[in-house]
């Protein structure tokens, strides 16, 4: 499997989770999607590059949601 397919697939898992469950942290996304935290971060980067997520800074950390 090539890198774009891996990152794209992980981005799809993260997007679906955010769409279904709503805003959450990267740690919560890792638990929800069963991806490693590094895979979640790369997926978030992919989605961010496409303009598909927004980031909110909270006291507890960053929260990601669908735009």
pLDDT at 11: 97
Any idea which residue has 């507890």 for tokens? 60
Spell out where 1-67 has E strands.
53-58, 61-66
Domain 3-66 has CATH 1.10.10.10: yes
The pTM (predicted TM-score) of the whole model is 0.93
pLDDT tens digits in sequence order for the chain, 67 residues long: 698 999 999 999 999 999 999 999 999 999 999 999 999 999 999 999 999 999 999 999 999 999 9
Helix axes 37-49, 26-33, angle to 10 degrees: 110
pLDDT at 59: 95
Decide: 53 and 65 in contact? Cβ < 8 Å.
Answer: yes
Instruction: For the chain, give every domain's residue range.
Output: 3-66
Helix axes 37-49, 3-21, angle to 10 degrees: 90
């Amino acid at each position: 499997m090539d890198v774009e397919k891996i990152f794209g697939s992980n981005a799809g898992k993260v997007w679906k989770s955010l769409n279904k469950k709503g805003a959450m942290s990267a740690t919560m996304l890792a638990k929800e999607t069963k991806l490693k935290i590094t895979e979640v971060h790369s997926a978030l980067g992919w989605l961010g590059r496409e303009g598909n997520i927004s980031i909110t800074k909270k006291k507890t950390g960053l929260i990601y949601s669908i735009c």
